[in-house]
Amino acid sequence: MKKFLLVMISLLFFVSCFENAEKLKSENRIFRTNDKYYVYYDGNTFELPKDLYLTKTKKVEQYFTSGMLKQLNIGTLSKAELLNDLNKYFPSGIKYITENETSVGSVLIPVTSVGSEKHVDSIKFEKMLANMPKAQEVKKDDEIQEETVVNTNPAETLKGKKFEILNANGIDGFAKNIGEKLKAKFGIEYNAENYTKPETMNYVIVRKLNDTEIEAILAEAGLKYAKILEDKTVKPDADFVLITGNDSQINFPVEIVTLGEKSVTADKIKGYNVKNIKSSEYKGEKLDKIIDVKIVYNPSDVYTAKLLAKQIGGGVKLIADNEINGKIIIVSKN
């Protein structure tokens, strides 16, 4: 009888505390996977250290169960408290809690130390959210109250989108060649012309596209670098603007901080301006203790960081740092 009651309680808690992750893949939510904690918010995934304080007295891991309760699939005992405390940091709100999702390319939330405690660096995080691309919103019909599912397949969602491809490298037909390639792949409409001044770096002006769509565009275009440009005056009617530089002439170092003279990570990112830096630590963290490869980048270089992460593969952490400019740092034990 006791065993039966425990099973019933487990089911009740499980139903009340966790939602269907597949149905909510475009919704803002928090989830725990292998004792790591992530928040999916407006198209971006943030990792929260388990010992991060969300309030003055409560750490992330303390909202979740452990031991017997966890084995019984009881994940959290107070859904309302967790979501309420999270929403102080996420303006659009976190609505759901899921479990055991796969996280790809997460960004570590900015942290500040207060004595021996870790707290969210609210100022840095606010700036980070302002600079990061956002996914398309999930809209609801007021009458039938049914959720509209957001299609995240770029091959379908990019059809008919208006692109401006501006050639800044002086190579004849460069922008048109990229435009034709994107048109054939995604069915976009594009206009190709010369940019007002020469550039070596590639720039993207993000207007109506989401993160997944932009990553697909850059991959199809075969570009290694892309920097976010904030300029409302450049082709304001376009859904997306790509200013093409010249990858082979871009002076944008990728520094690999590693224990040895050489890094296996360097072999995975050929074609980049790689510089190996031998060190036993990075910002006080011992390299022989780290597990995941870390990519540290300025928020304006997020797409270059994601292109690198895709080439490296495996467990890669993306860490935005406003203090880094003109380069990307990869921290790798090997």
Q: Which of 166, 225, 231 is nearest to 201 (CA)?
A: 225
- Burial (CB < 10 A; 0-12, 13-18, 19+), residue 215, is buried
Task: Specify the pLDDT at position 33.
Answer: 84
Which tens digits make up the pLDDT trace of 268-320?
998 999 999 999 999 888 999 888 899 999 999 999 999 999 999 877 888 88
CA distance 208 to 269: 30
CB atoms within 10 A of CB 186: 20
**What pLDDT band is residue 255 in, cutting at 50, 70 and 90?**
very high
CATH of 161-248, one of 1.10.260.40, 3.30.390.30, 3.90.950.20, 3.30.70.2390: 3.30.70.2390
| pLDDT above 90: percentage of residues in the chain | 51
With H, G, I as helix, E, B as strand and everything else as coil, classify residue 26.
Answer: coil
Residue 193: both structure tokens together: 């012309």
Which tens digits make up the pLDDT trace of 9-35?
444 444 444 455 556 777 899 988 888
The answer to whether 333 and 288 have CB atoms below 8 angstroms apart is: yes
Say yes or no to pLDDT of 52 above 90.
yes
Q: Where are the domains of the chain?
A: 21-131, 161-248, 251-331
pTM, rounded to two decimals? 0.62
* Mean of pLDDT values over 313-332: 89
* Mean of pLDDT values over 77-94: 88
CATH of 251-331, one of 2.60.40, 1.10.155, 3.40.30, 3.30.70: 3.30.70
Which tens digits make up the pLDDT trace of 120-151?
988 888 888 887 766 544 333 433 333 333 44
